[in-house]
Amino acid sequence: MAQLVRSQLFIAAVFAAVGFLSGCVTTGGTRIDNVPMYGQPAIERPAALKLADDAFIKTASEGIGGREKASVAWWMEGDKYMREGNLDYAMRRYNQSWLLNPNSFRPYWGFGRVLLEQGQLDESIKHLEKAVQLVDDEYQKVALLTDTASVYSVKANSSPAGSSERTKYFSLANRYLEESTKLDPTYPNSWRTWARSRYFEGRFAEAWQMVNAARSRGAQFPPQFIKALEEKMPEPK
């Protein structure tokens, strides 16, 4: 716990010292540090900000024991802001995590989560798929696959009924959820996500199966979801 507090204090100090420079350029009225990878490669990074990036990388790496450890620390800060609902600050920390280690799956996962909350489904999918390609942590992969499946399910549900696009995205959601539950059958959020996805897909009997699987693993559902499912199909006895 003490080490975590020291890391958080260090991150705050580094951000105060050099992090503010990354927000000096805007694109379309949006701070460039609120855009994944600072808009690169489409938006060229100005020389002054490249120097600021180098200073940040040097300071952060030296303070936490190398670029990889520092990247994880900044990603964790991004997750903290995500939990608080502060998408701008979350994106800024994920960008700093990416600067420190652009080959890590974590910042791309963060980008995808923020973009989903912003309703940018296609961009969210792009970054989540990048994270899936890079993931090298079996423990984190379970949650990453679940998050990616969730976005595919939302994308499918927003597609026209009966369309090939809808079928394709539900198929991708089911594939990732199947993989996630095989990797760790005890992770409740995979089953909870699958229940919602099956409901959207109109496969209500299977949705109930996933609800029961999720409940047996300690997951809870909003009452309005269960009510909506019951209206489509009473719970099998």
Q: Residue length, the chain?
A: 237
The rounded distance, in Å, linking the Cα atoms of 79 and 114 is: 10
At residue 49, does pLDDT exceed 80?
yes
Q: Do domains 1-136 and 140-237 have the same CATH topology?
A: yes
Q: Radius of gyration of the chain from Cα atoms? A: 20
The domain defined by 1-136 folds into 1.25.40
pLDDT, tens only, 201-235: 999 999 999 999 999 999 999 999 999 999 999 99
Bond into 41 cis (ω within 30):
yes
Over residues 74-100, mean pLDDT: 96
- Per residue, the 3-state secondary structure of 160-207, as one string, reads CCCCHHHHHHHHHHHHHHHHHHHHCCCCHHHHHHHHHHHHHHCCHHHH
pLDDT, tens only, 156-190: 999 999 999 999 999 999 999 999 999 999 999 99
Confidence grade of residue 9 (pLDDT, cut at 50, 70, 90): low
The β-bridge partners of 31 are 26
Helix H or strand E encompassing 31: strand 30-31
The rounded distance, in Å, linking the Cα atoms of 92 and 88 is: 6
The rounded distance, in Å, linking the Cα atoms of 151 and 155 is: 6
**What is the separation of C-alpha 132 from the centre of its chain, rounded to a whole number of angstroms?**
11
At residue 62, does pLDDT exceed 70?
yes
At residue 19, does pLDDT exceed 50?
no
Higher-scoring residue by pLDDT: 55, 3: 55
Q: 126-133: list long-range contacts, CB under 8 Å, 24+ apart.
A: 127/36, 130/105, 131/105, 131/106, 132/105, 132/176, 133/105
Percent of the residues in the chain that have a pLDDT greater than 70, as a whole number: 88
Spell out the domain ranges in the chain.
1-136, 140-237
Q: What is the pTM of this model?
A: 0.88
Confidence grade of residue 8 (pLDDT, cut at 50, 70, 90): low
Contact 46, 54 (CB under 8 A): no
The rounded distance, in Å, linking the Cα atoms of 66 and 194 is: 38
Contact 20, 57 (CB under 8 A): no
121: Cβ–Cβ under 8 A, 6 or more apart, which residues?
115, 151, 154, 155, 158
CATH class for domain 140-237?
A: mainly alpha
Q: How many CB atoms lie within 10 A of CB 171?
A: 13
Over residues 117-136, mean pLDDT: 97
Q: What is the mean pLDDT of the chain?
A: 90
**What is the separation of C-alpha 199 from the centre of its chain, rounded to a whole number of angstroms?**
22
Percent of the residues in the chain that have a pLDDT greater than 90, as a whole number: 82
At residue 4, does pLDDT exceed 90?
no
